[in-house]
Amino acid sequence: MKTHFPGIKPVVYEGPRSKNPLAFKHYNPDERVEGKTLKEHLRFSVVYWHTFRNALSDPFGAGTAIRPWDDGSNSVKNAQTRVRAAFEFMEKLGAPFYAFHDRDVAPEGKDLRETNKNLDAVVKVLKEEQQRTGIRLLWGTANLFSHPRYLHGAATSCNADVFAFAAAQVKKALEVAHELGGAGYVFWGGREGYSTLLNTDLKREQEHLAKFLHLAVDYKKRIGFQGQFYIEPKPKEPTKHQYDSDAAACLNFLRQFDLLSHLKLNLETNHATLAGHTMQHELEVAGAAGALGSIDANTGDELLGWDTDQFPTSVYLTTQIMLTILKYGGLATGGVNFDAKVRRESFEPVDLFHAHIGGMDTFARGLKIAAAIRKDGRLAEFVRQRYGSWDSGRGAQIERGQTSFGELEAAMLKQGEAAPNVSGRQEYLENLINEFL
Ligand code: XUL
Ligand code: CO
């Protein structure tokens, strides 16, 4: 078999003392934590768009990426060769999952019919490679934002024909995800938002988006696709305001339009920070609503205000993420999906390995540290005790709904003052976390 990454051997775990840049120092897939292997907990996934379709251009200059397997053409044959290279990469990396948009894997044709045919020709190769390697599809999605037809959005376009085209595209993408045994399917809003309210009927656009998702739910049932549906929040970029702006906005939207039982959230770190939140905040909001589904693992740059999609390297960040994920029972159908790209200056194929190895090791450390913090128990015990007044007496009565304002007023009139507060001990807790890092 032709190799596209000559000289790169399968990446193995060599332990924290290894100086080999192409080995894992912390991600030992078979190591067990809280009853599951690291591989089962983390469910790492490689994204097709950044890793295989991003030429590393920026608004000021052309792409720099050297990708010897890619002839740069828009042919189906080139797309098929790219699949072989992608699976060789994922196999050598030891990633059990991948994710793609329809348009990442196959070129758009002269019309929808030809586009679907192109996709089928590439899906055939994806299926072969999945079978050869055992690598699975974490989720599929449709690109409803790149083509000029989507300039006003897709499901929220002012043009009903564009809604219809998007529906046709998602129908096909669902069939493909089903055929490839996908564990999920993601809806990211793309251009579902607005640039100005002067030309926008916000209420109508949101209703259309809900209608679109209900049609997708119907079709999912019709074809018997078992994968989990996710919605991915992002506040802005490319639009000034995206309707799925953050976890809370998505949950409210899903609840308002009776979609909450059909979709969970796919949360992305850099989207959280663009929304003015931490990733842990977004995870907690989703987890509390029973909607924590999957994560797009990346990070932004604190000094840049846009979606830089960098690979995560902060152990503090991954510790926080894994604390919340473990707290809510782990990623069931979801995974740690590296929606991240190498910098424009890192243009060689080997940089793709460095980036993913770093991200995987950082998550492995975060997971082990989070598990150690949980095993130690002091953090959880502190929080438990902090809410101790709710476990019995008046607190328990309020929680059970067995009281009224009148009764509570009478109690406080009698008592004269609430029981004194105790310290929140933030600094003590921050020190406690640092004990484990
Ligand atoms: C865009 C983004 C998308 C989604 C899938 O910022 O994160 O790549 O993850 O469409
Ligand atoms: Co994403």
Q: What is the mean pLDDT of residues 15-35?
A: 98
Ligand 1 geometric centre to CA of 273 (Å): 15
Q: Which residues sit opposite 267 in a β-bridge?
A: 295
Residue 158, both tokens: 């002012």
Ligand 2 geometric centre to CA of 401 (Å): 41
Q: What is the mean pLDDT of residues 308-312?
A: 98
Which residue among 45, 100, 188, 229 is best mutated to probe the pocket of ligand 1, counting the most ligand atoms within 8 A of its Cβ?
A: 188
CB distance 268 to ligand 1 below 6 Å:
yes
CB distance 234 to ligand 1 below 6 Å:
yes
Which residue among 244, 245, 268 is best mutated to probe the pocket of ligand 1, counting the most ligand atoms within 8 A of its Cβ?
A: 268
Please tell me what DSSP assigns to residue 299. B
Residues 108 and 118 sit within 8 Å (Cβ to Cβ): yes
Q: What is the mean pLDDT of residues 25-38?
A: 98
* pLDDT attached to residue 302: 87
Ligand 2 geometric centre to CA of 339 (Å): 5
Q: What is the mean pLDDT of residues 372-386?
A: 98
The residue whose CA has the least distance to atom 8 of ligand 1 is: 339
- Note the ligand closest to the C-alpha atom of 239: 1
Catalytic residues, which ones? Answer: 101, 104
Q: Give the residue among 399, 383, 402 at the shortest CA–CA distance from 391.
A: 399
Ligand 2 geometric centre to CA of 240 (Å): 17
- What are the phi and psi torsion angles at 138 (to 5°)? -70, -50
Q: What is the mean pLDDT of residues 31-35?
A: 98
Please return the burial class of 162, using the count of CB atoms within 10 Å of its CB with bins 0-12, 13-18 and 19+.
Answer: buried
CB distance 88 to ligand 1 below 6 Å:
no
Judge whether residue 428 has pLDDT over 90.
yes
Ligand 2 geometric centre to CA of 296 (Å): 5
- Letter string b/e over residues 183-200, b meaning 16 or more CB atoms within 10 A of that residue's CB: bbbbbbbbbbbbeeeeeb
Q: Which atom of ligand 1 is nearest to the CA of 337?
A: 9
Fill in the amino acid letter for 391.
Answer: D
The residue whose CA has the least distance to atom 10 of ligand 1 is: 188
pLDDT, one tens digit per residue, over 79-106 is 999 999 999 999 999 999 999 999 999 9
User: What domains sit in the chain, N to C, each tagged with a CATH number?
Assistant: 32-376 (3.20.20.150), 381-435 (no CATH)
CB distance 296 to ligand 1 below 6 Å:
yes
Which residue among 54, 103, 234 is best mutated to probe the pocket of ligand 1, counting the most ligand atoms within 8 A of its Cβ?
A: 234
Please return the burial class of 358, using the count of CB atoms within 10 Å of its CB with bins 0-12, 13-18 and 19+.
Answer: middle
Mean pLDDT, the chain, whole residue set: 98
Q: Give the residue among 108, 106, 117, 94 at the shortest CA–CA distance from 140.
A: 106
Judge whether residue 330 has pLDDT over 90.
yes
* pLDDT attached to residue 87: 98
Would you place residue 20 in the very low, low, confident or very high pLDDT band (cuts 50, 70, 90)?
Answer: very high
CB distance 154 to ligand 1 below 6 Å:
no
* pLDDT attached to residue 106: 98
Judge whether residue 325 has pLDDT over 80.
yes
Cis status of the peptide bond prior to 238, with omega within 30 of 0: yes
Ligand 2 geometric centre to CA of 230 (Å): 11
Radius of gyration, CA atoms only, the chain: 24
CA distance 314 to 108: 38
What H or E segment, with its residue span, contains residue 139?
A: strand 136-141
* pLDDT attached to residue 56: 98
Strands (E), 321-405: 336-338
330 phi-psi bin (left φ>0, alpha ψ -120 to 50, beta other): left
Question: What does pTM read for this prediction?
Answer: 0.98
CB distance 100 to ligand 1 below 6 Å:
no
Residue 52, both tokens: 């295989």
Residues 348 and 298 sit within 8 Å (Cβ to Cβ): no
Q: Strands 193-194, 241-242: parallel, antiparallel or unpaired by DSSP?
A: antiparallel
Residues 132 and 87 sit within 8 Å (Cβ to Cβ): yes
Would you place residue 205 in the very low, low, confident or very high pLDDT band (cuts 50, 70, 90)?
Answer: very high
CB distance 141 to ligand 1 below 6 Å:
yes
CA distance 405 to 28: 55
